[in-house]
Structure 1
């Protein structure tokens, strides 16, 4: 099918001075027609099957995804605030109905907003045009998961509105304390949250495409329950190192090998300078907790 003309609300300079170079793309991937500047920066179109739970992370060459509780916004330190990484982060948010994070990620990023334009303001109008073309709301709904109810209540992202998914006990602790724009939802009856139940509640709000940005413990729960469909992974050309400190990798709080491997199939590889932008499709065995 020939390309249709693309309308872009923005003119002038490109979103990225150097677009991503496509090294590999699996034939037949779902594709939406991106606004022109987004397609030029990404090196082509992007699409996701619906429903889909997909993750986006950046790690160092030695697999570190977070530097520790004493470091704020460690993702920016690991990525070096690379413009291409921030563009991909914004693009993936622009595709999503909801962005799912854990309470630890909220605490570690005290001034962050989980919106596309926050990480790539140059593409604000293009992200808005994409969301309109996909029939999305003006911005993805932020979903914060906390079993304990321990949240930084003054966080600006909560002031803008979020769905807070918690336990019955967490609901009791948070009742009447969240900003008025937030929705508080108790999921399940026990002290532990099952992510399948959380995602079912998110889906009941009409959200078919859910992006998670972590942290690694939340990703561990999602992978462990066999829920994650795709992983977008930026490999930053930096070594973070470890010296007895707790610097987790992508999946934390869950051991998979040797008994419960989760296999991944490469569906896309892109590059910008020495940064790699990888996309994987995951294949899950049965949830270890169900065996």
Structure 2
């Protein structure tokens, strides 16, 4: 999930100022983009995706918590401890994407955030821009906000900067006249339900075949329920979050898998910086019927 941040001037304006990640394991035969040298050094190797691809990025505590609850906005920053390497990986994954997909809950939980590569790791901004140019990507990834109901904080700076809002016909009617002029609406279906598959089909039609989701556990549940998630990047932060009376979900919410449904994943990459682990999994999920977002 996204971390909120306040951009500060960087002492250096390239990824070379970052301490490199240590490569622990990499499965052979992965697609490679040919990262700019400074990014490859900071990441501890190359990175790439075979389109179409939907990949997610989360930071989790040792005990599996990815969100601290609705009363704790920007909880990703608390879980990661604002670890610079985690923020770099977040920016790098955005720099590789055609589009960044989030849910309305994530938008509300990070009130100052912009889902751009440089926002979260400004010192690597020029290198992220170079990578996007080399891949033929737009200057910034397309932000896509999914909301079945149309209930959005329309004053959010990310919407003011421009976004594609994927919603239902009911949601579109609710948003009519309320969104900034920089936004556009994708009304995927009639009624009050929304299939994420329809959203991705529309994105693919616009050439957005590499889609990063930084949505919350509910959105991941919908993606898994429709067999749409290809890869998961998981930063394991060396902190214990604990659980008591506040809902503190793991990566998946709103969808039960075990024991009736097996959702195995293969570890294809592992990196480390100090006590943080940066893991990359490829999902292997049996094809099932779709679920819908409410």
With structure 1 as the length reference, what TM-score do the two structures score?
Answer: 0.94
Q: How does 1:52-201 map to 2 (within 5 A)?
A: 52-201=53-202
What is the distance in 2 between the residues matched to 1:230 and 1:66? 20
Q: Do the aligned residues in 2 keep the contact of 1:15 with 1:38 (CA within 8 Å)?
A: no
Q: Which residue of 2 aligns with 1:269?
A: 270
1:13-52: per-residue Cα shift (whole Å, max 9, x none)? Answer: 7231x21000000001001111111111000111111110
What is the distance in 2 between the residues matched to 1:20 and 1:71? 29
CA deviation after TM superposition for structure 1 residue 244, in Å: 2.5
Q: Do the aligned residues in 1 keep the contact of 2:271 with 2:278 (CA within 8 Å)?
A: yes
Q: Which one is further off, 100-109 or 200-209?
A: 200-209
What is the distance in 1 between the residues matched to 2:13 and 2:91? 19
Q: Do the aligned residues in 1 keep the contact of 2:59 with 2:237 (CA within 8 Å)?
A: yes
Q: Do the aligned residues in 2 keep the contact of 1:73 with 1:109 (CA within 8 Å)?
A: yes
Secondary structure of the structure 1 residue equivalent to 2:146: strand
1:201-235: per-residue Cα shift (whole Å, max 9, x none)? Answer: 11111101000011110011001110000000000
Q: Which one is further off, 212-221 or 182-191?
A: 182-191
Q: Which residue of 2 aligns with 1:36?
A: 37
What is the distance in 2 between the residues matched to 1:264 and 1:198? 24
1:87-124: per-residue Cα shift (whole Å, max 9, x none)? Answer: 00000000000000000000000000000000000011
What is the distance in 2 between the residues matched to 1:13 and 1:35? 10
Q: Do the aligned residues in 2 keep the contact of 1:59 with 1:78 (CA within 8 Å)?
A: yes
What is the distance in 1 between the residues matched to 2:27 and 2:182? 41
Secondary structure of the structure 2 residue equivalent to 1:222: helix
CA deviation after TM superposition for structure 1 residue 287, in Å: 2.2
Instruction: List gaps (5 residues or longer) in structure 2.
Output: 1-11
Q: Which residue of 2 aligns with 1:14?
A: 16
Secondary structure of the structure 2 residue equivalent to 1:38: helix
CA RMSD of aligned residues (A): 1.3
Q: Do the aligned residues in 1 keep the contact of 2:13 with 2:122 (CA within 8 Å)?
A: no
Question: Structure 1 209/13 Cα, relative in aligned 2: closer, same or farther at 3 Å?
Answer: closer
Q: Which residue of 1 aligns with 2:231?
A: 230
Secondary structure of the structure 2 residue equivalent to 1:45: coil
Runs of 4+ in 1 over 2 A off after TM superposition: 10-13, 286-290
What is the distance in 1 between the residues matched to 2:14 and 2:100? 30
CA deviation after TM superposition for structure 1 residue 188, in Å: 1.4
